[in-house]
Amino acid sequence: MSLRSKLAGWPQALLLRSACYAVLAALAVMSYSIVVPKPLPVIAAMSVGHVLCVVGFACFGLAVLVEMATRPGARSSLPPTSKPAPKSEPASKG
Amino acid sequence: MLSHVTPVGYLCLVAALASAAIVIWYLVKKPALGLTTKLTLLFGVGVLPAAVAIASTTVGMQATTERRFCGSCHVMQGHTWNAEHAASDSLAARHARNPFFGERNCYVCHADYGMLGYPMTKLNGMKHVWHYYFGGFKDKSLDHAIDEIDLYKPYDNVNCRQCHSGSLTHFKSISDHQSLEKELGKNEVSCTSGGCHGFAHPFSKFGKKAPKKSTVKPAGSASAAPAASSAAPPASGGAP
């Protein structure tokens, strides 16, 4: 199974929602550390906050890849699939 | 509540609000994933949170250098009250009144210097947090904690000599400085010892030298300053 077909099976909407929730949590933790600059909030912002931020952006990036994988004919930036596209279709479309 | 927030902190909060607004808009409205939506989401999930992460780290690291931050653990409040009390004449208090130290006097005096000084100071700070939450200090009263709190290693004279270089005539003219030059360089004699410039936080020495008694009171208490400063031997004023 190629990477593209694997990615196509991922739920894009769920990934985007997860990204949003992770980023919202990260923003809350980081903002709290600014309003209440005490040891635990500051440590949490620099650890949990940053991890949630990265997770959120990773989910967003995955959602972008999923869309690229499911978009018909758009595969110039991904590994080729086992089924090549018809010759009449331009390879660089999209 | 927000009086301590710096301009960078306010920018960070504004960016966080903008990012949250975009994300909530997407979650509530569920718009079609057109180019505009994707670009908006890129800002809401990527660009703005990254800016918030960088800014909050900067603000957080700055906050960790302030006396208020050190005093936010109750076991350190004796030290911070002593340093900021207007009537206290301890070494720490006299330095705290100097604008160069100011609100950052704990950090300026206790930070490690040199190439790895900053990360080592922060690692030690993490050790403090560990001891506070998992080493039992969180549950100790201030009086008990003051008796037990001590530096991990003897106070390094190098920290004093960041400012008091010892190269000027006034410093060299003191006979004790001349006779103890080697010992001071090797940390065998501390600048902040009882016989020299006095303990930086003299009240904290009572429990280690004499029967414990409550000597630390919050700022504003009439007895706090005399008690806090009574153990400090006369120390010379500004040094070169």
Does any CB of chain B come closer than 8 Å to the CB of residue A65?
no
Cβ-based neighbours of B63, under 8 Å, separated by 6 or more: A37, A42, B69
Task: Name the one residue in this structure whose structure tokens are 């065998």.
Answer: B188
CA A5 to chain B, closest CA, distance in angstroms equals 21
Residue B8: pLDDT over 70: yes
The winner for highest mean pLDDT among A36-50, B76-90, B100-114 is: A36-50
Contact residues, chain A, for B45 at CB < 8 Å: 19-20, 23, 56-57, 60
The Cα–Cα gap between B162 and B101 comes to 12
Q: Which pLDDT belongs to residue A1?
A: 67
Does any CB of chain B come closer than 8 Å to the CB of residue A27?
yes
Interface test with B, best of A32, A42, A52 (most B CBs within 10 A): A42
Other CB atoms within 10 A of residue A60 CB: 24
The Cα–Cα gap between B155 and B189 comes to 10
Instruction: List the single range of A47-61, B65-79, B161-175 with lowest mean pLDDT.
Output: B161-175
Residue B50: pLDDT over 90: yes
Q: Residue A27 is nearest to which of B41, B52, B60, comparing CB atoms?
A: B52
Contact residues, chain B, for A46 at CB < 8 Å: 56-57, 60
Contact residues, chain A, for B23 at CB < 8 Å: 20, 23-24
Contact residues, chain A, for B12 at CB < 8 Å: 30-31, 34
Residue B111: pLDDT over 90: no
Mean pLDDT computed over A69-81: 62
The radius of gyration of chain A from alpha carbons, rounded to an integer in Å, stands at: 19
CA B189 to chain A, closest CA, distance in angstroms equals 33
Other CB atoms within 10 A of residue B198 CB: 23
Q: What is the pLDDT of residues A34-45, one digit of tens each?
A: 999 999 999 999
Structure tokens at B112: 């490690």
Q: Which pLDDT belongs to residue B210?
A: 41
Task: Name the one residue in this structure whose structure tokens are 């620099």.
Answer: A46
Does any CB of chain B come closer than 8 Å to the CB of residue A15?
no
Task: Name the one residue in this structure whose structure tokens are 């718009």.
Answer: B31
Q: Mark yes or no for CB contact B56/A23 under 8 Å.
A: no
**What's the pTM?**
0.75
Q: Residue A20 is nearest to which of B45, B59, B129, comparing CB atoms?
A: B45
Report DSSP letters for A7-61, one per residue: HHTS-HHHHHHHHHHHHHHHHHHHHHHHHS--HHHHHHIIIIIHHHHHHHHHHHH
Sheet strands (E) in B92-172? none
ipTM score here? 0.76
Cβ-based neighbours of A42, under 8 Å, separated by 6 or more: A33, B60, B63, B64, B69
Shortest CA distance from B60: residue in chain A: A42
Mean pLDDT computed over B60-74: 91
Q: Which pLDDT belongs to residue A9?
A: 81
Domain ranges of chain B: 7-63, 71-230
